[in-house]
Structure 1
Amino acid sequence: MSQYKAIILVGGPSRATRFRPLSLDVPKPLFPVAGAPIISHHLAALSKVNGLKEVLIIGFFEDHVFSRFIDEASNEFPHLHIRYLREYQSLGTAGGLYHFRDEILRGNPQQIFVMHVDIACNFPLNEMMEAHMKHRGLCTMLSTKVPREQATKYGCLVAKPDTHEVLHYVEKPETFISDLISCGVYLFDIAIFGEMKKAIDRKKDSQHEESDYLWTVSDDRLRLEQDLLRPLSEGRKLYVYVTEKFWRQIKTAGSAIPANAAYLEKQAQEHSDRLAQQKDDGPEIIGAVYIHPSAHVDPTAKIGPNVSIGPRVTIGKGVRIKNSIILDNVHIGNASCILHSVIGWNSKIGAWARVEGSPVADHNVAMMMNGVKSQSITILGKEVSVMDESIIRNCIVLPHKELKSSFHSEILM
């Protein structure tokens, strides 16, 4: 019997529209950040939790989407039993948990971790457990402080400073409440399923008051944040663990770049042997850089900081890359420069070309603001070719495009 189980909520294909054009070719949970799929960073953290043996991935992607990844992850984390459970339709962030409650409760775990997939974070799971064991509320949520002007984009909470008891929780409030936000990582006691049942009954009651015949099965959608956490905070059963370490949301395609940087910097602090080392006969490496063993980087190139280079990439003479993700099979011609960009699979960048985005503080901005392309990371979708000596600046380029001239601040369909 293991005391803990974990659930990673991955959503489904219709959700990741803000992650386009990258999600056209790979589902967001499997997009590589710092040389590994987003979801593998969650698994790496879970593998360090004592007494945790099983991880359930819940979403409504087709089964085959995760099958190869689960095979590979099971080899990488042999003591974790990893399975994918597919919802028959989108059930909401808590609906899937309730729908699969028998699977989750099998083996009598006492606590379950629940984490959203679209975040990058330090995952202080063992510390959350210690905090949870002290207060024994129904839920401990991971929380962090954000700049005041960004707070209303998230679930905000007010907590007692001494006991860490959450007094008030509001999802995306209209006015400023607090700079403490929910990170999308929770540790629940098993009794949470009783609270879910109450939440469903409350929803049914409010529906019945309006009209009996309007109630349909599709209203089984249950939202973790609004339908569950808010009542828990009112019932004084919700506690918070505040992390000082990094946390990033991965909503838009551009937000993959700061997530990539955060994970690479974390690996550098841990002196991970995954990172590229400066060698006499190799390229110049600045800061934290990941280069896949099958990539070929010319020794005259200068790479970093915060760069991930994927499998079978070829990088020519004198190339400069920083704050970027270069995906599988990309070819970058001599003397080109890539800054603050994601270069999609099988793309070709000519010689003396320049691809650059704008480093921005808030990566969850919409692509267009008032009809103008907002400043952001430049993203080339799959199989994009950029001609020699072209400059592509602050653009989003959809797959299979040939760019024969320079472009600035456009979405190229």
Structure 2
Amino acid sequence: MLKAVILIGGPQKGTRFRPLSFEVPKPLFPVAGVPMIQHHIEACAQVPGMQEILLIGFYQPDEALTRFLEAAQQEFNLPIRYLQEFVPLGTGGGLYHFRDQILAGGPEAFFVLNADVCSDFPLTAMLDSYRHQPHPFLLLGTTANRTQSLNYGCIVENPQTHEVRAETEKPSTFVSDVINCGIYLFSPEALKPLRDVFQRNQQDGQLEDSSGLWPGAGTIRLEQDVFSALAGQGQIYVHLTDGIWSQIKSAGSALYASRLYLGQYQLTHPERLAKHTPGGPRIRGNVYIHPTAKVAPSAVLGPNVSIGEGVTVGEGVRLRESIVLHGATLQEHTCVLHTIVGWGSTVGRWARVEGTPNDPNPNDPRAHMDSESLFKDGKLLPAITILGCRVRIPAEVLILNSIVLPHKELSRSFTNQIIL
């Protein structure tokens, strides 16, 4: 028997995902046509012996989250529950706080997945590796180039045994080209070191607060408090993958993740990919179109386009490397490139809405998305264009490398601006 835990965080996180996170919790943002965490749930549901999936975070359980969980339980025929933290408890605090629910029924092991990663989730391969050599902690790792490795948790492994000798979060100098993917497989014994951290936090807090009610005792950071402390003691191992992987920290990385998942659909969900049909729109590359969307036959879509529920795409529209969300309208002959079009937004006829991608170096197979910064030297850096919820773009204008906050009605062109 196995379980899975998906760490979804909470509303004060994901600030780099604004303005898109104003409308839905970040874990429910559609990536390649389905909510971000549905990719995680689909992967977990395919592991033989999976009995339950738990979501841990500190979002209020609103209607959108509740509706998603109910639909997911029916689709995957698995218990899927949300466990709400009373305060943010870090990447490990929620695991310890809800340890009784995780261990109920006596699972052999449990997966732990961060919600803000895109991956092909080689969970069965991780399970095989764990059963071959059981240890409390198994981490999924991949390689990065020397420069980009500094932006991640770096793992120093024994190349023969794959034991983790050291784990360092965002080092200031090069440590290793193996990075932590934020996907783990833990044995039940893995909760004992979390208990030790909790008790140590309590003792440290009591020195500062004689009441013994120090609120920070439950906050546990897996990477710094557990992995770094236990590395080299024969308890942590790494399973390396060369499959797809990326963080989803911002809207730009969500667009890149959509491209990766659409590519995966060739193998995993070919039924989700639109096909060119006589009298239908011209499809180039991997494109997802929700069944309720209305797309004019003269539109040209792709590659790497995701069109959501109830979207209207007019005659002569050109759409490439973009996500168009629920209820949006692209009027006749608009051109939308490297853009996320928000819920219910309208792009007027003959308008051009375009962004600049921040893609990994295509000539470096170990390259990942660079850490995205909005500003440099006080200037807005060119990046993908984001239209928030219910934005109206007039006809015959250019919107380039700009972020438009929700409910704005523009009257002219904008370039390299945040429109408040």
User: Normalising by structure 1, what TM-score?
Assistant: 0.96
Partner of residue 329, structure 2: 331
> Cα–Cα, structure 1 residues 270 and 90, in superposed 2: closer, same or farther, change >3 Å?
closer
TM-superposed CA distance for 1:212, in Å, is: 5.4
TM-superposed CA distance for 1:205, in Å, is: 4.4
Q: Deviations over 1:340-363 (max 9, x none)?
A: 110000000011111111111335
Partner of residue 302, structure 2: 304
Q: Deviations over 1:274-313 (max 9, x none)?
A: 1101101111101110000111111111000110000111
TM-superposed CA distance for 1:243, in Å, is: 0.8
* DSSP 3-state at the match of 1:287: coil
Counterpart selection for 1:402 from 391, 394, 409:
409
TM-superposed CA distance for 1:91, in Å, is: 1.1
Distance in 1 between residues matched to 2:107 and 2:269, nearest whole Å = 34
Pairing 1:162-173 to 2, within 5 Å after superposition: 162-173=160-171
> Cα–Cα, structure 1 residues 5 and 270, in superposed 2: closer, same or farther, change >3 Å?
closer
Distance in 1 between residues matched to 2:47 and 2:155, nearest whole Å = 27
* DSSP 3-state at the match of 2:270: coil
Partner of residue 68, structure 2: 69
Pairing 1:31-110 to 2, within 5 Å after superposition: 31-64=29-62, 65-78=64-77, 80-110=78-108
Distance in 2 between residues matched to 1:34 and 1:401, nearest whole Å = 26
TM-superposed CA distance for 1:161, in Å, is: 1.1
TM-superposed CA distance for 1:269, in Å, is: 3.5
Do residues 194 (structure 1) and 192 (structure 2) align? yes
- 1:259 is matched by which residue type in structure 2? A
Counterpart selection for 1:411 from 392, 409, 418:
418
Distance in 2 between residues matched to 1:38 and 1:134, nearest whole Å = 31
- 1:275 is matched by which residue type in structure 2? L
Structure 2 contact 206–214 (Cα < 8 Å) conserved: no
Partner of residue 372, structure 2: 365
Distance in 1 between residues matched to 2:190 and 2:159, nearest whole Å = 24
* DSSP 3-state at the match of 2:231: helix
Counterpart selection for 1:179 from 177, 180, 189:
177
Structure 1 contact 152–176 (Cα < 8 Å) conserved: yes
Pairing 1:105-254 to 2, within 5 Å after superposition: 105-207=103-205, 216-254=214-252
* RMSD of equivalent CA atoms: 1.5
Distance in 1 between residues matched to 2:42 and 2:395, nearest whole Å = 41
After the TM superposition, which of the residue ranges 24-33 and 269-278 deviates more from structure 2? 269-278
- 2:147 is matched by which residue type in structure 1? E
Structure 1 contact 340–356 (Cα < 8 Å) conserved: yes
TM-superposed CA distance for 1:204, in Å, is: 3.8
Distance in 1 between residues matched to 2:222 and 2:268, nearest whole Å = 33
- 2:73 is matched by which residue type in structure 1? S
Structure 1 contact 252–364 (Cα < 8 Å) conserved: no
After the TM superposition, which of the residue ranges 323-332 and 197-206 deviates more from structure 2? 197-206
Partner of residue 377, structure 1: 384
Distance in 1 between residues matched to 2:217 and 2:403, nearest whole Å = 36
- 1:72 is matched by which residue type in structure 2? A
Q: Deviations over 1:136-192 (max 9, x none)?
A: 121111111122211111111111111111101011111111121111100001001
Do residues 386 (structure 1) and 393 (structure 2) align? yes
Distance in 1 between residues matched to 2:150 and 2:221, nearest whole Å = 18
Partner of residue 259, structure 1: 257
Distance in 2 between residues matched to 1:134 and 1:9, nearest whole Å = 26
> Cα–Cα, structure 1 residues 214 and 104, in superposed 2: closer, same or farther, change >3 Å?
closer
Structure 2 contact 344–389 (Cα < 8 Å) conserved: yes
Structure 1 contact 395–409 (Cα < 8 Å) conserved: yes
TM-superposed CA distance for 1:202, in Å, is: 3.1
In structure 2, stretches of 5+ residues that fail to align are 360-368
In structure 1, stretches of 5+ residues that fail to align are none
> Cα–Cα, structure 1 residues 262 and 219, in superposed 2: closer, same or farther, change >3 Å?
same
Structure 1 contact 255–364 (Cα < 8 Å) conserved: no
- 2:409 is matched by which residue type in structure 1? E
Name the % identity: 45
User: Normalising by structure 2, what TM-score?
Assistant: 0.95
* DSSP 3-state at the match of 1:14: coil
